[in-house]
Structure 1
């Protein structure tokens, strides 16, 4: 059985909760190297699987036993480290948001093309069962024409789950660039494009720091977005939902209403204009809370795309388009203008 030999760069919470356990569970993967500036963090995982340990990502990229890497670093490092990894001949799974500018994203895509290697961005909401079924219902015309939607992602903030707590890089403007919009909003901007299978053409945003005033990154954002076919909706991202988290999407169509991840018992509910509601429990959405974590599907898709020599579900271009939406929201908030996306 052919195996993909994987190195993980950055051993914070996202590695511990998702990348490491999911790589370890994949029968086509051998974890051969881990890297973190705090070497002990890498060693904890490496000892489990007999992998090499590095404190320098450049040294890991020189390791001939590594075919592919996960880049699980602060946002500002995503582009430079990903580009160097691709140039070193490694396939790359980069955490979201893929970059801090459109130019960086384009440079990453170009580097992947020139190297002939896979570049995938870690947008996991596409792989949630309720979202997959919601997309099917929309494409099958079960909702008829869709008029509007609202999608939200909110929790209490990274200090509740990050390995560094309140000292996390998430609150450092230089390292993170974006706050709640980069952490949560970009998940939903990708989800909107996935669900409706079309691009966003206009964005208006209100992005601010309201709950964590001592920080310099945004912690609350409300955006209005318009799709190519004229459908309108709102996207909310927040680090101030300290007790009642939200990860819901509600879609209003001419034939009914679809509620995804909006009910404690049923992750998928369709209320048709006529007939009984369809209620399905399709499993829990991924969260960082104890007991709420389920398999994301991201790791398996990354590995399968490498083995099958095909484009992954979330390419660099898809990651770039999700990034463009949150960057436009930020610019809209600063300029007080509606932004048009090409």
Structure 2
């Protein structure tokens, strides 16, 4: 199966290097309008580099394309790839709006290609195991959940992240991982209440989710501008126990350092102490779904729902009131 990667930044590098290690996949090219980025990644991953999407697609005629571009470009290139009959693996969030997401889903359906969205948290073993334990009843009835995802502001490294209209800010770009994970665990969201504070190199959000068919109360914390290392954590409290995970506890030495002092050169990518890279597990799963026709663990429709919840959270933060999500037939909860 021939695969290409569009976008050679942090996530494009993750995708390309993962494909280069898969025995049943040929990484046939990487593409970026920044020639030096494309050349560097191609050399690293052992493939060809291109500066034009059209040239790469015409030359390689791939089976699958990974779209690892900034969010505002997802729709444009997913539609172009679908028109060429190419399956698409696109980084999260699927799109800036639910309307764009739906157009992408319908276009892929029309052209008979699959669309997968990289909500990789579902593939991190720590999160997967926590979800299994919660579902199994190991901690009784889950009542309260707190999750956090904090790190330096990517806008200090790559300017488009600082443009909230483009990136969607910390809620749409970072917290959406936890939004998708919690919806996958507890079902559709009934209401959202959010607080959001922003400033130079700071974007902090606290979001509370209530669910239609589950009594759990979920609190999500996201922070761009945290002076320490990138950290993720989740704690689920049930009627007979607690499940906790904190990525910072897997390190024996803790050094807090400001982003400026750290002199970051790229956007931070979450890591896992597991033997298998979760990104590689995710991409291998998507490739297997293309081969078998099976439904993915996280679908494009799931990704669209996550965007709807993120948008509701941003609205709640702006008006200072909870936002009720609508049922599919339009009735409010």
Match of residue 166 from structure 1: 157
Name stretches of at least 5 consecutive residues in structure 2 with no aligned partner.
252-267, 327-333
Matched, 1:201 2:190: yes
Of stretches 119-128 and 201-210 in structure 1, the one that deviates more from structure 2 is: 201-210
Matched, 1:258 2:243: yes
Q: Cα–Cα, structure 1 residues 235 and 341, in superposed 2: closer, same or farther, change >3 Å?
A: same
> 1:64, CA displacement in angstroms?
4.6
Post-superposition Cα deviations, 1:260-293, rounded to whole Å, max 9, x if no partner, equal 2366149xxxxxxxxxxxxxxxxxxxx6379979
CA distance in 2, matches of 1:289, 1:126: 13
The answer as to whether partners of 1:9 and 1:69 remain within 8 angstroms in 2 is yes
Match of residue 33 from structure 1: 29
Matched, 1:317 2:301: yes
2:98 to 102, 107, 113: 102
Moved over 4 A (4+): 289-294
> 1:238, CA displacement in angstroms?
0.6
> In proportion to residue count, which structure has more helix?
2
The answer as to whether partners of 1:171 and 1:179 remain within 8 angstroms in 2 is yes
Match of residue 222 from structure 1: 206
Matched, 1:241 2:226: yes
> 1:48, CA displacement in angstroms?
4.9
> 1:232, CA displacement in angstroms?
0.9
> 1:211, CA displacement in angstroms?
5.0
Q: Cα–Cα, structure 1 residues 131 and 73, in superposed 2: closer, same or farther, change >3 Å?
A: same
Matched, 1:191 2:158: no
1:334 to 315, 318, 329: 318
Secondary structure of the corresponding residue to residue 228 of structure 2: coil
The answer as to whether partners of 1:193 and 1:199 remain within 8 angstroms in 2 is yes
2:269 to 278, 283, 288: 288
The answer as to whether partners of 1:144 and 1:254 remain within 8 angstroms in 2 is yes
CA distance in 1, matches of 2:247, 2:144: 16
Post-superposition Cα deviations, 1:231-281, rounded to whole Å, max 9, x if no partner, equal 112111111221154310111110111102366149xxxxxxxxxxxxxxx
Name stretches of at least 5 consecutive residues in structure 1 with no aligned partner.
160-164, 214-218, 267-286
Q: Cα–Cα, structure 1 residues 49 and 188, in superposed 2: closer, same or farther, change >3 Å?
A: closer
Post-superposition Cα deviations, 1:163-213, rounded to whole Å, max 9, x if no partner, equal xx634321234532x1212221011101112233x1111101112313526
The answer as to whether partners of 2:16 and 2:45 remain within 8 angstroms in 1 is no
The answer as to whether partners of 1:9 and 1:70 remain within 8 angstroms in 2 is yes
Secondary structure of the corresponding residue to residue 135 of structure 1: helix
- TM-score under structure 1 length normalisation: 0.83
Match of residue 255 from structure 2: none
CA distance in 2, matches of 1:332, 1:90: 38
2:38 to 27, 35, 42: 42
CA distance in 2, matches of 1:145, 1:110: 38
- TM-score under structure 2 length normalisation: 0.85
CA distance in 2, matches of 1:313, 1:193: 13
The answer as to whether partners of 1:224 and 1:234 remain within 8 angstroms in 2 is yes
Q: Cα–Cα, structure 1 residues 319 and 172, in superposed 2: closer, same or farther, change >3 Å?
A: same
Post-superposition Cα deviations, 1:280-314, rounded to whole Å, max 9, x if no partner, equal xxxxxxx6379979612221111111122222222
CA distance in 1, matches of 2:89, 2:23: 18
